[in-house]
């Protein structure tokens, strides 16, 4: 495992998190996909991907809440 410090604003701010090899592999694969998008379409692709990731993060936050 590799110790990775995340940027400010994430759940892991000022904390170390161990990344597994498959997570690192997935990140490299995602980087390859991002780099394969033409520069003219990259900003649209990044916006859509950011919206998707924000939605996933919101789902995780709402999933932690006990709504009873």
Residue scoring higher pLDDT (2 or 22): 22
47 and 30 co-located in one domain:
no
Residue scoring higher pLDDT (2 or 27): 27
Q: What is the pLDDT of residues 8-44, one digit of tens each?
A: 455 555 566 788 999 999 999 999 998 999 999 999 9
The gap from C-alpha 41 to its chain's centroid, in whole angstroms, comes to: 20
Q: Which of 4, 45, 11 is nearest to 27 (CA)?
A: 4
6 and 22 co-located in one domain:
yes
31 and 55 co-located in one domain:
no
Rounded Cα distance between 11 and 56, Å, is: 13
Rounded Cα distance between 9 and 31, Å, is: 21
Residue 7 pLDDT class (50, 70, 90 cuts):
very low
Query: Is pLDDT at 66 greater than 80 in this prediction?
Result: no
**pTM of the full predicted structure?**
0.54
32 and 42 co-located in one domain:
no
Tell me how far CA of residue 26 lies from CA of 18, 32, 33, 54, 66, in angstroms. Answer: 15, 10, 11, 18, 31
């Amino acid at each position: 495992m590799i110790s990775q410090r995340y940027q400010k604003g994430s759940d892991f701010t000022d904390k170390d998190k161990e990344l597994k090899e498959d997570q690192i592999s997935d990140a490299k694969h995602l980087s390859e996909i991002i780099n394969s998008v033409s520069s003219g379409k990259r900003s649209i692709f990044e916006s859509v991907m950011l919206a998707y990731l924000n939605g996933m993060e919101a789902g995780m936050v709402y999933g932690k809440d006990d709504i009873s």
